């Protein structure tokens, strides 16, 4: 007698694309990571001389006009949408996927973890200043009249977080589900996890997923500086500023970019002869339910997400060969993540290599998890673990094997990636080397 419950599909990765501070392709990024190269430098996108933090990891020398190959370049798109489109273009090419030819349009969906586009901060501040009087009151009529003249309504719509996924679907002709989530630093990992679940249910055959974000602008920097989350040191030597798990860490470095993966139902991938990077086998999602910005001090939600992902994958902690840490370089986050790993892995925690690529390219916020999962796939492919650079001063509260400063050769068949966002959003993904 049939129960009506379908056995879940296996989900594999058949294409990857990335635009990061370390380069405009996955290959450039991967070479930089293996070399322990830092992309952190003085901010050039705006005048940050009056800000407590004057450094960031920018995507530099990217010619949007020259790079477009997938449809017409959007005229009013924000910086993060350009990143997403270019990364998606690369991932689709890498997967040799053609919507409408080797995948039906309605069987191909898009799920991003995407941040808002950058607002016209300078004009906004100027309009407020012009409309304000010495007693602090604001001439609302003037503000509205001048605002209509200054702000472009179409451009302002590009600030909506779901716009990037819509642009990708339009460029590809992907007519399946189109979704976006913005759970802070966990967003793209959550998008990948939820896209995996959609495929497991057989709702579609292919999901274009990942994340994109760019917050290196006055409004973004102001917010994080007010939260005291950013590093305010090393302006004289930017490459030394991001130092996850190091005792002298003082905050994270803001990065930007996009990471896009093509996820595919296994049988569909095999039928079209696709190359397979690896299989997504584990997904865990929890909330700390603690405070709006602070993580739970005992790592309650983080350890639960790791345990859920292991259970989903049917793996024991000792079967994990590498952990790509969230590793932001903030005092609290690195300590709590270390504690969570110890809680779940017990004695195995001291044997598994753990590294943070944020030491080299900063924190890509909503895009971070996708880029880090791509890194896990490359680690499994090439047997090289990227280092945690700037690890120079051991912290007694962070005493695991963080692969300090130099890349390491290692056989990795199972890789785990953590993403923990503001508000206690916790996502863990597990990828495994593909075996039929």
Beta strands in 127-205 (DSSP E): 178-181
166 within 8 A of 80, measured Cβ to Cβ = no
The catalytic position among 185, 234, 296, 376 is: 185
Backbone angles phi, psi at 132, to 5 degrees: -95, 145
232 within 8 A of 251, measured Cβ to Cβ = yes
- Distance linking the first and last C-alpha atoms of the chain: 29
Contacts of 1 (CB under 8 A, 6+ apart): none
325 within 8 A of 418, measured Cβ to Cβ = yes
Separation CA 64–CA 79 (nearest Å):
9
Q: Is 181 a catalytic residue?
A: no
Separation CA 93–CA 91 (nearest Å):
5
In whole angstroms, what separates CA 253 from the centre of its chain?
14
User: Any bridge partners for residue 213, and if so which?
Assistant: 257
Q: Is 326 a catalytic residue?
A: yes
Apex 18 CA angle, 277 and 120, nearest 5: 155
User: What is the C-alpha R_g of the chain?
Assistant: 21
Separation CA 339–CA 399 (nearest Å):
10
392 within 8 A of 335, measured Cβ to Cβ = no
* 27 three-state secondary structure: helix
> Which of these, 220, 157, 208, 196, lies nearest to 365 by C-alpha position?
220
Contacts of 27 (CB under 8 A, 6+ apart): none
Backbone angles phi, psi at 212, to 5 degrees: -150, 145
> Which of these, 4, 15, 8, lies nearest to 314 by C-alpha position?
8
The catalytic position among 213, 268, 321, 363 is: 363
The catalytic position among 268, 296, 326, 376 is: 326
Which residues are designated catalytic?
Answer: 185, 326, 363
């Amino acid at each position: 007698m049939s129960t009506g419950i379908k056995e879940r599909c296996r989900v594999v990765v058949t294409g990857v694309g990335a635009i990061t501070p370390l380069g405009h392709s996955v290959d450039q990024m991967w070479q930089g990571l293996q070399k322990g190269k830092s992309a952190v430098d003085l901010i050039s996108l705006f005048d940050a001389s009056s800000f407590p933090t004057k450094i960031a990891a920018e995507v530099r020398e990217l010619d949007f006009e020259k790079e477009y190959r997938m449809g017409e370049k959007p005229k009013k798109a924000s910086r993060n949408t350009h990143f997403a489109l270019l990364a998606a273009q690369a991932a689709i090419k890498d997967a040799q996927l053609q919507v409408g030819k080797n995948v039906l349009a309605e069987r191909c969906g898009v799920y991003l973890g995407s941040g808002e586009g950058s607002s016209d901060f300078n004009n906004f501040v100027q309009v407020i200043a012009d409309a304000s009087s010495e007693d602090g009151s604001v001439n609302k009529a003037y503000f509205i009249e001048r605002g209509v003249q200054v702000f472009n309504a179409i451009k302002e719509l590009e600030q909506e977080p779901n716009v990037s996924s819509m642009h990708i679907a339009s460029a590809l002709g992907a007519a399946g589900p189109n979704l976006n989530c913005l759970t802070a630093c966990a967003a793209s990992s959550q998008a990948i996890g939820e896209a995996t679940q959609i495929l497991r249910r057989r709702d579609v055959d292919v999901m274009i997923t990942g994340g994109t974000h760019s917050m290196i602008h006055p409004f973004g920097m102001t917010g994080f500086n007010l939260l005291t989350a950013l590093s305010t040191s090393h302006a004289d030597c930017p490459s030394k500023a991001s130092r996850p798990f190091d005792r002298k860490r003082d905050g994270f470095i803001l990065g930007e970019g996009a990471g896009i993966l093509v996820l595919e139902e296994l049988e569909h991938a095999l039928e079209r002869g696709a190359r397979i990077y690896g299989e997504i086998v584990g997904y865990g999602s929890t909330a700390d339910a603690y405070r709006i910005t602070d993580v739970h001090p005992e790592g309650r939600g983080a350890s639960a997400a790791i345990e859920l992902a292991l259970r989903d994958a049917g793996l024991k902690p000792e079967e994990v060969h590498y952990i790509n840490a969230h590793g932001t370089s903030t005092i609290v986050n690195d300590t709590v993540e270390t504690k969570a790993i110890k809680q779940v892995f017990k004695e195995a925690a001291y044997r598994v290599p753990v590294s943070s690529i944020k030491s080299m390219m900063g924190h890509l916020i909503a895009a971070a998890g996708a880029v880090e999962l791509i890194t896990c796939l490359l680690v499994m492919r090439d047997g090289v673990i990227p280092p945690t650079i700037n690890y120079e001063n051991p912290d007694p509260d962070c005493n695991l094997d963080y692969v300090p400063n130099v890349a390491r050769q290692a056989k990795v068949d199972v890789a785990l990636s953590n993403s923990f966002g503001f508000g206690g959003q916790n996502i863990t993904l597990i990828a495994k080397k593909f075996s039929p």
